[in-house]
Amino acid sequence: MGARRSRTARWRECLEQILERGGGLEIAIDHSPPETHAPVGEQADDGSPTLQTPGSLVWRVRLYEVTDGSLTLEMPGALGSSFRIAPGTPLRAVMAIGQNRWMFSSTALGETQIQVGKRFFPALRIATPTEVERCRRRVSDRLSTAEFHLPSVQCWTLLDPDSTIPAELANRARINELLKARSEGEPSAALEAALLPAVGPCSPGMLANIGGGGIGVRFEPSSRIDLDTRNLYWMRLDLRPWIPAPLAVTARLAHVHTDSSQTLHAGFAFDFSHNPEHRTFIIEQVERCMKLMQSVPQRKAA
């Protein structure tokens, strides 16, 4: 048996290794093949049409238990809030040991609780896979783009943190306006330019994962950005069509590394120190994404 086939056949041992090390998996609601389209006529704040391919929110979650029938994972969440996944929801997941990565399909089985120390936390049970497939390293460090459409991210170095307050207020007002028009079946109001705080040049990236209090962003070599933990950053997360306009948030760099292909992987922690009220809005919109994403596979399965 070749080395590659041997490693694939031993993927169950890798799950056990991840469990023993206190590691985790990356999971996303399965939208393949993509069939969802944004409401006709909607546009972003910059006037560009909304994405026709739904983006996938990829969650980095801890692995708590492995049995023959199920895996118990940390419930996807952000900023202290957990986001439920309904039983029967199709999922895709990635597990990694060193440079070896495997992707597999699964299904949400339901909620449970896990005890960590003296506290109990909500957890998610998913079906143990019957087979896995190797991820191609040259396509992506973690996820195959053939399986996931990662949302785009725009990132600016923030020059004046106080200038984010009116920009975040404008972003909330614009998204709420578009959501109201969507719920009432009305066309969007006239578009205005999105308000930016005082920022430096923009660098495009991809939303690699979300979890805890922030996000992971991938910058390709052609769009590398000079990152510094002393700086704050202004981010726009394009979660269309789930959210009708890019979601704006302030973030602080937590960690960064560059892989062998010179792709830069950065972890950002959300920062609401200048506008605490924006925290609730971000939680609400991420929760909205999760609910809308789950409604698509449920309708397809009906």
Short-list 180, 197, 198, CA closest to 188: 180
Average pLDDT over residues 257-273: 89
Using pLDDT thresholds of 50, 70 and 90, give the confidence band for residue 249: very high
Euclidean distance between CA atoms 296 and 74, whole angstroms: 23
Sign of the four-CA dihedral 284, 289, 294, 296: positive
pLDDT digits (tens, 9 = 90+) for 143-180: 444 456 789 999 999 999 999 999 999 999 999 989 88
Mean pLDDT of the chain: 80
Nearest 10 degrees: Cα torsion 167, 230, 204, 223: 150
> What predicted TM-score, i.e. pTM, was given to this entire model?
0.78
Euclidean distance between CA atoms 228 and 154, whole angstroms: 17
Q: What is the pLDDT of residue 192?
A: 60
CB burial class (10 A; 0-12, 13-18, 19+) of residue 233? buried
Peptide bond into 39 cis (omega under 30): no
Short-list 7, 58, 22, 14, CA closest to 239: 58
pLDDT digits (tens, 9 = 90+) for 182-217: 887 766 555 566 789 999 989 999 998 888 788 999
Whose tokens are 């996938």? That residue is: 56
Q: What is the pLDDT of residue 9?
A: 58
The full set of domains in the chain, from first to last, is 3-134 (2.30.110), 152-301 (2.40.10)
> How many other C-beta atoms are found inside a 10 Å radius of the C-beta of residue 106?
21
Amino acid found at 86: A
Euclidean distance between CA atoms 254 and 232, whole angstroms: 10
CB 107 within 8 A of CB 69: no
